[in-house]
Structure 1
């Protein structure tokens, strides 16, 4: 089942399948280690929903909700 990264609940894990958005945003996310095939775990969601904190490649990364919405994952 493919969903966007922002739809994950805290402590849920998924595998990145694709990254959408404009080329500069996609390149920046890939430079930060968000690449297809990597396992990500949702750690925290801010009280107002923005930003979200994920764990991937053994480090924590905070993303805006709009960026997380462009990352497609499979549970």
Structure 2
């Protein structure tokens, strides 16, 4: 369901989004532990996100956010207000730098945080 945001744009909740279309997160509309969990997973305002897949029964949704795939229940996705993004190409939302981008903590020569790892 399309609604008008306070900024004059159109927004939907993520659970009503279209498969493959890019969206910008406007707000995470919940409190407490659920809000912290969603924010910790990278679902923060201004982040570009898209629905990658939908399970056969419609729940859960597989999302692409910050260059990784995230599975989210439709009930939780209903708490995320998003707006369609025009002129956005795939890959622009990926984080381009920073340690641990892919979850790897191995450095040169198999070292982890300065410790030697036997191979």
Does residue 44 (structure 1) correspond to residue 53 (structure 2)? The answer is yes
Distance 2:39 2:51 in 1: 18
For 1:1-75, list aligned pairs within 5 A.
Answer: 1-75=10-84
Structure number having the greater strand percentage: 1
* Two-structure CA RMSD over aligned residues (Å): 0.7
Structure showing greater radius of gyration is 2
Q: Secondary structure at the match of 1:24?
A: helix
Unmatched tracts of structure 1, length 5 or more? none
Q: Secondary structure at the match of 2:15?
A: helix
Moved over 6 A (4+): none
Post-superposition offset of 1:53:
0.5
TM-score (norm 2): 0.61
Post-superposition offset of 1:21:
1.9
Instruction: Provide Cα deviations, 1:18-64, integer angstroms capped at 9, x if missing partner.
Output: 00123110100000000000000110111111000100100000000
Unmatched tracts of structure 2, length 5 or more? 1-9, 85-119
Distance 1:67 1:37 in 2: 18
TM-score (norm 1): 0.96
Q: Secondary structure at the match of 2:57?
A: coil
Length, aligned pairs only: 75
